[in-house]
Amino acid sequence: MKNVIFYFSGTGNSLALAKQITQKLGDTELISVPAYSDAAEPIKITAERIGFVFPVYFGCLPPVMKRFISNLEFGREQYIFGVANFGGGSWLAFGQLDSALAERGAALSAAFPVKMPGNYIVKYGALPQSLQNKILERAKSKADGIAEAVKGKIPSAIPRGAPPLKIFEKRLLKITEGFGKMAENFHAGENCNGCGVCAKVCPAGNISLKDSAPVWGGSCEQCMACIQWCPREAVNYADKTAKRKRYHHPEIKLSEMFRTKPD
Ligand SMILES: Cc1cc2nc3c(=O)[nH]c(=O)nc-3n(C[C@H](O)[C@H](O)[C@H](O)COP(=O)(O)O)c2cc1C
């Protein structure tokens, strides 16, 4: 394939964008990052155009993306683009993506920020449906524009976050580095019937079933997939989420979110 797009997604927003860009671009392989993020051997990327599509977490690049990139080997003259999506803003994510690439001798050619419905249920519930629809409609036309720009290998400026944000960067990174430990806040309530959907959608493979009840390990990515995709709304985070409306991208099927393992 001439092009490759790597994505990470908890509630389908990144996957929907990545799929749309893949289809418009043609000749593009779409690969889910988490299953490869701890690959033993370095991964050599020979594609002409390389994309990274991911959500912004606490203003940052998700740690799983950073780990994945640290294991990549790039060629020469490749067009590398990032699509950061978020509820509010891309903040420090593109600068961090570019830095992660620089550590591998590569550089970001273009950055495409896309607003999507926010999914951080620990702080807020799903947006009203009409607002979600508006945001998703706009994002669709944005994704078409991204595909066109990528086809033409058009470069762009890389937003690195306003200076006040840089002051908080260390603190924000510290939060993301603590994601594993934050898994201890998840729990399943009486509604849980042991169906195992949470374990299947967990991109980190961090959930197992014990006596038909989910148990969280220490390698959480905080993507909220376990809460947002639970068909019985039985999974919650501490005492923060029980009464909040769930969200996942309306055009992404549950089965598309199942963790895929490399061959
Ligand atoms: C742990 C966590 C932290 C988040 N932090 C931010 C943030 O700092 N800024 C922002 O605009 N959106 C933030 N969001 C919202 C997501 O970036 C946004 O909803 C994204 O589209 C989700 O993509 P996905 O469905 O592919 O996982 C956060 C979401 C989660 C789960």
User: Tokens for 200?
Assistant: 């299947």
This prediction has a pTM of 0.98
Segments forming the whole domain that contains residue 225: 179-257
User: Within this chain, do residues 159 and 192 fall inside the same structural domain, yes or no?
Assistant: no
Q: How far is CA 238 from the centre of its chain?
A: 23
| Model confidence at 263: pLDDT above 60 | no
69 and 111 co-located in one domain: yes
Name the maximum alpha-carbon separation found in the chain.
Answer: 55
Pick 45 or 262 by higher pLDDT.
45
Q: What is the pLDDT of residues 136-167, one digit of tens each?
A: 999 999 999 999 999 999 999 999 988 888 89
CA 187 to CA 190: how far, in whole Å?
Answer: 10
β-strand pairing of 72-74 with 43-45: parallel
Ligand 1, atom 21: nearest CA belongs to which residue? 86
Question: For residue 262, what pLDDT is reported?
Answer: 56
User: Does residue 201 share a domain with residue 153?
Assistant: no
Assess whether pLDDT exceeds 90 at residue 28.
yes
CATH number for the domain including 223? 3.30.70.20
Ligand 1, from 17, 120, 135, 138: best to mutate by most atoms within 8 Å of Cβ? 120
| Per-residue pLDDT at 202 | 97
Domain boundary among the residues 105, 133, 164 is at 164
Residue 213 belongs to some domain of the structure = yes
Instruction: Please tell me the predicted confidence (pLDDT) of residue 103.
Output: 98
Residue 215 located in a structural domain: yes
* Same domain (yes/no): 57, 151: yes
Q: Which residues line ligand 1 (CB under 6 A)?
A: 9-14, 55-59, 85-89, 116, 118-120, 222-224
Residue 207: exposed, middle, or buried by beta-carbon count in 10 A (0-12, 13-18, 19+)? buried
pLDDT at 257 over 60: yes
Looking at the structure of the chain, the number of domains it has is: 2
Q: Does 155 reside within a domain?
A: yes
- The DSSP string of 183-228 is GGGEEE-TT-----HHHHH-TT--EEEETTEEEE-S------HHHH
Across residues 7-28, what is the average pLDDT? 98
Among 139, 164, 189, residue at a domain's last position = 164
Q: Binning pLDDT at 50, 70 and 90, where does residue 5 land?
A: very high
Does residue 185 share a domain with residue 235? yes
d(CA 13, CA 256): 12
Residue 235 lies in a domain: yes
189 shares a domain with 150: no
Average pLDDT over residues 89-116: 98
Q: Say how many residues make up the chain.
A: 263
Could you tell me if 26 and 126 lie in one domain? Answer: yes
Residues 143, 213 share a domain: no
Q: Is the pLDDT of residue 127 over 80?
A: yes
CB atoms < 10 A from the CB of 35, how many? 16
